Amino acid sequence: MSPEIEGLPIKPPVTEGTLTRLDRVIARGGQVVSLLFLFSGAIIVFEIFARYVLNSPTTWVHETTTFVCALCFAYGGAYCLARNKHIRIVIIYDQVSKRARRILDIILSSIGVVFGTTLSIAAWDLVEKSFFAPWGDFRMETSGSAWDPTFPAWTKLALFLALVTMSIQFILHVIHHIKRNPDV
């Protein structure tokens, strides 16, 4: 029996491959983030029209498209992990018992925690350098182009947040795999 609001059934959340509540939130967010690729494509079409039809090229489309796509790709790591669609060498994984898979899942997720945390620490160093001058003043890194947006700093922050999110996901996955029934 599905829950209802004023007599209307609520659609079940996207759960294929998700392990935790955070995974489900990220999977739903991926549907929204994917629209940014459409936005990116639309502004590229606008640039082509402006450049070749109106003979008035833009100064902002290339960097905006690069920034938007970088945000999408940074989110993509957490999304793939949330949907359990990350790259896995299945030649061994598919040949072992369910109990052995559970152990492999615990080991691999634990390695993911270490890897994600290490990368998060390194990414924080990049964020700090891109938001603050060496003498400590707030100064966001810019692209250095004619338009000169602060996209490099924001991209580094997005990458850091994606890595922190993935580290948390891995921690939750370790807990999930430890708690789950070994025969499932």
**How confident is the model at residue 182, as a pLDDT?**
80
What was the pLDDT predicted at 10? 46
Tell me what pLDDT residue 72 has: 95
The length of the chain is: 184
Determine, yes or no, domain membership for 55: yes
Task: Specify if 138 maps to a domain.
Answer: yes
Counting the structural domains of the chain, the total is 1
Q: Say what the pLDDT of residue 16 is.
A: 56
d(CA 140, CA 95): 51
The model's pTM? 0.84
- Position 93 scores a pLDDT of 83
Whole-number pLDDT of residue 14 = 47
Mean pLDDT per 10-residue segment, the chain (184 residues): 49 60 93 93 96 94 95 94 81 88 93 96 96 93 93 97 97 93 77
**Residue 184 covered by a domain:** no
Residue 171 domain-assigned (yes or no): yes
What is the pLDDT at residue 1? 43
Which range of residues forms the domain containing residue 124? 4-179
Whether residue 37 lies inside any domain: the answer is: yes
18 in a structural domain? yes
Handedness of CA 108, 109, 111, 115 (dihedral sign): positive
- How much is the pLDDT for 91? 84
pLDDT of residue 63: 95
